[in-house]
Amino acid sequence: GEGHTFTNVIREFLSDVKEVDSAGYIKEHPFVDKTKLVIKAAPKKKIDKAARTAAKELAKSYDEFYKLLEKAA
């Protein structure tokens, strides 16, 4: 299940996408390891594009971080 970690990271990347007015998530109960991602964008049709953009940026950041780890090792 998802916890705060991944949902908070993707929320952060979504917040940086210009089509997104706001992004957040809801964890309905502390014992349930499930979260709901909430994205507000205008117009609504751009939510898919915004999610793809955020995912690509997250992947780029991961690749950069991994390269830094390899250099340090």
**E strand or H helix at 10:** helix 4-15
DSSP classification of residue 31: T
Least confident of 5-9, 12-16, 45-49, 56-60: 45-49
Residue count of the chain, please give it. Answer: 73
Beta bridge partners of 18: none
Share of the chain above pLDDT 70, in %: 93
Mean pLDDT of the chain: 87
Classify residue 65 as exposed, middle or buried by CB count within 10 Å of its CB (0-12, 13-18, 19+): exposed
Q: What is the value of pTM for the model shown?
A: 0.75
